[in-house]
Amino acid sequence: MDKQQTQDQINALKKVLNQYNYEYHVLDQPSVPDAEYDQRMQELLKLEEEHPDLVTADSPSQRVGGPPLDAFQKVQHNIPMLSLGNAFNETDLRDFARRASQGIDGEISFVCELKIDGLAISLTYENGEFIRGATRGDGVTGEDITSNLKTIHSIPLTIEETETIEVRGEAFMPEKSFHALNKAKAANEEEPFANPRNAAAGSLRQLDPKIAAKRNLDMFSYGVGEWNAAEITSHSERLNKLKALGFKVNPEWRKCATIDEVIEFVDYWTNERPNLNYEIDGIVVKVDSLDQQDELGFTARSPRWAIAYKFPAEEAITKLTNIELSIGRTGVVTPTAVLDAVKIAGSTVQRASLHNEDLIREQDIRIGDTVVIKKAGDIIPKVVRVVENKRTGDEKEFFMPKNCPACGSELVRLEEEVALRCINPNCTAQLKEGLIHFVSRNAMNIDGIGEKVIIQLFQEELIHTMADLYRLDREELLKLDRMGEKSVANLLQAIEQSKQNSLEKLIFGLGIRFIGAKAAKTVAVHFETMEKLQQATYEALVEIDEIGEKMADSMVKYFSEQKVIDLLKELSELGVNMTYTGPKQSEGETDSIFTGKTVVLTGKMESFTRNEAKALIESLGGSVTGSVSKNTDILVAGEDAGSKYDKATELGITIWDEQQLKDMTED
């Protein structure tokens, strides 16, 4: 092959690799399998190795990271990279709109964009080639981080525009990359990054581009610095042009004709924010017309034509006044931080989960400490860290007790578990939690009895076991606080009705370890009566599809306990149905609660990503769709569920929370 042929081949490979890269990283629509990309890249690397003089700065091979630098060069921003003024509420946004319309003639329209929580960068292209990438620095002088930025696949190395153009945008670390990075750091016993922004900044500050290359960063472009494109008259046209040139523009921008529409956009994203797979810290509102932007101009620090609405803080500092213990229905003892009340993201927080003693030791959390609390769309707020310089010396170290705080029996740490457990089957705290589970919707579904009533009944010693629920009488109940004739009558009717439940609800309600709603249904269908299930051997149980060894083992142990035998006898004598009354199933056919059901997911969940929840439901025969309609069977609503929740309520659609989804899919 002569030099010209080699050159032609290299050019062809570069072209096709850049195209594949664009499809994968910018459009999110790969047209070829990864292996095809890898193979072409190997071919290019081989040719470039044989002909180093043919390696160019725009070669896709440069994305793996060039040689390490000694230091970053300084870069002057000819047009300063300014920051934005802030708005914290609706009034601030309306004031901004008023100021803007007073400053110009004619109607105003706005463009709203997500405010990506990363770091501002500038990309310069000359003759269609990416020649320099820089940080914002102090706005006037930044640092040249070109080699690091080349490793970001969504940044084009070449564009079809010969004029010099400076594109600005936000480099960031997607959540998935962030979690993977922190996991790897933890495995190496290194300090994790506190958040994706710090991780992105830390990665781009590395002198060795090979490190940045491994961090899977991304970038959204949202504006330009130097660029004279006379034909473009508005910011929205500019975003479209950037997209057409091959830059990744966040698709969630919207043109708004009024400030009311802007506020609607802000409200929408306040709710939907947890569902994104990258972090945003607000909404940027920009006047759309470029002429109007010019008219409005700048103050010393920021443009008058744009403002950044900031979401309420999700972290807060407060005092940890105590550590309390709670006992779950399986006996796990969990420490909980009691806090001086503090507002985070609009809600008051007084408690935070500490998970287990190992975590308390790792973070060296002491009673009396000043701590940082975070509530990032999570259901339960967490203690992020201790503010050590606030220590007075009076803080007390916390140790888990040796005995159960409810029943006094010795706590044990089961093999492979970090948690401590009370294994006393008569522990009152466990019984109480077990009863709360027993009456819950997916179990015996006893309407009108929730956690509060169970606690009351327990305190009044009206119930000790599940069977006691069926012995409650009207007179006793009427003596309870906030229990009138009507609520007592409703409650007794709900209890009575629950006696007719099909067997699977009772099995699930018993709270046997590892037996979720699905396994309960499987064994109910298989054995049809409680009696047969009680007599089932380990071998007979594991033979059933979908019943694993752990489940079979757990059931055999559970049903062999005298206490359980007595309880089931009592329940049966009290009239609780012990047979499966659902539809019969033919051999081999397994049905799930999701079979043929249409499910919509909304809000943020702790234990599943959207995709995991979707895959799970689909694997159980359900289909997952994006919007709520009258054809929706179930809405699963995580934390901060927004308009979909409202719509489902309006249409009377069954709504589950995350726990219910977990219960239904546990096995």
Residue owning tokens 């806090």? 339
Q: Which stretch binds ligand IVH (CB under 6 A): 114-122, 153-161, 471-479, 487-495?
A: 114-122
116 lies in the binding site for ligand IVH (CB under 6 A): yes
120 lies in the binding site for ligand IVH (CB under 6 A): yes
State the minimum distance, in angstroms, from the CB of residue 346 to ligand IVH. 22
Question: Nearest-CA neighbor of 51 among 88, 9, 80, 22?
Answer: 9
Structure tokens at 386: 């201790």
Q: Based on CB atoms, which residue is closest to ligand IVH, 308 or 544?
A: 308
The helix (H) or strand (E) run that includes residue 656 is strand 654-656
Q: Based on CB atoms, which residue is closest to ligand IVH, 303 or 377?
A: 303
Q: What's the distance, CA 56 to chain centroid?
A: 41
State the minimum distance, in angstroms, from the CB of residue 272 to ligand IVH. 16
Output the residue with the shortest Cβ distance to ligand IVH: 120
**Set 46, 74, 115, 532: catalytic member:** 115
Q: Which of 20, 72, 222, 514 binds ligand IVH (CB under 6 A)?
A: 222
Q: Based on CB atoms, which residue is closest to ligand IVH, 42 or 89?
A: 89
- In one-letter notation, the amino acid at residue 455 is I
State the minimum distance, in angstroms, from the CB of residue 658 to ligand IVH. 30
What are the residues facing 656 on neighbouring strands? 636
Contact 170, 158 (CB under 8 A): no
Q: Which of 173, 217, 239, 308 binds ligand IVH (CB under 6 A)?
A: 308
What are the residues facing 581 on neighbouring strands? none
84 lies in the binding site for ligand IVH (CB under 6 A): yes
The DSSP letter of residue 388 is G
Q: Is the dihedral of CA 123, 124, 126, 131 positive or negative?
A: negative
The DSSP letter of residue 61 is G
Q: Which stretch binds ligand IVH (CB under 6 A): 70-78, 302-310, 364-372, 496-504?
A: 302-310
In our burial notation (b when 16+ CB lie closer than 10 A, e otherwise), range 169-199 reads bbbbbbeebbeebbeeeeeeeeeebebbbeb
What is the DSSP code string of 287-329?
Answer: ESBHHHHHHH-B-SSSBTTEEEEEPPPSEEEEEEEEEEEEE-T
Q: Based on CB atoms, which residue is closest to ligand IVH, 308 or 541?
A: 308
Per DSSP, the three-state class of 133 is strand
What is the x/- site pattern for ligand IVH, positions 241-280, by CB under 6 A?
Answer: ----------------------------------------
597 is catalytic: no
Q: Which of 14, 40, 115, 375 binds ligand IVH (CB under 6 A)?
A: 115
Q: Based on CB atoms, which residue is closest to ligand IVH, 220 or 580?
A: 220
Number of neighbours of residue 258 by Cβ within 10 angstroms: 13
The DSSP letter of residue 580 is -
State the minimum distance, in angstroms, from the CB of residue 497 to ligand IVH. 54
State the minimum distance, in angstroms, from the CB of residue 221 to ligand IVH. 9
Q: Based on CB atoms, which residue is closest to ligand IVH, 306 or 443?
A: 306
Alpha helix locations (H) across 282-440? Answer: 290-296, 357-362, 428-439
Relative to beta strand 370-374, strand 74-76 is unpaired
Question: Nearest-CA neighbor of 567 among 520, 536, 537, 534?
Answer: 534
Structure tokens at 300: 């010393």
Q: Based on CB atoms, which residue is closest to ligand IVH, 120 or 453?
A: 120
State the minimum distance, in angstroms, from the CB of residue 161 to ligand IVH. 21
What is the x/- site pattern for ligand IVH, positions 64-83, by CB under 6 A?
Answer: ------------------xx
170 lies in the binding site for ligand IVH (CB under 6 A): yes
Q: Which stretch binds ligand IVH (CB under 6 A): 111-119, 330-338, 386-394, 647-655?
A: 111-119
284 lies in the binding site for ligand IVH (CB under 6 A): yes
Q: Which of 223, 331, 603, 642 binds ligand IVH (CB under 6 A)?
A: 223
Q: Which of 17, 63, 66, 113 binds ligand IVH (CB under 6 A)?
A: 113
Question: Nearest-CA neighbor of 167 among 220, 236, 230?
Answer: 220
Q: Give the C-alpha separation, 363 to 450, whole Å.
A: 35
Alpha helix locations (H) across 32-160? Answer: 34-50, 90-102, 146-150
Q: Based on CB atoms, which residue is closest to ligand IVH, 80 or 377?
A: 80
Catalytic residues: 115
Residues at the site binding ligand IVH, with contacts judged by CB under 6 A:
82-84, 113, 115-116, 120, 170, 222-223, 284, 303, 306, 308
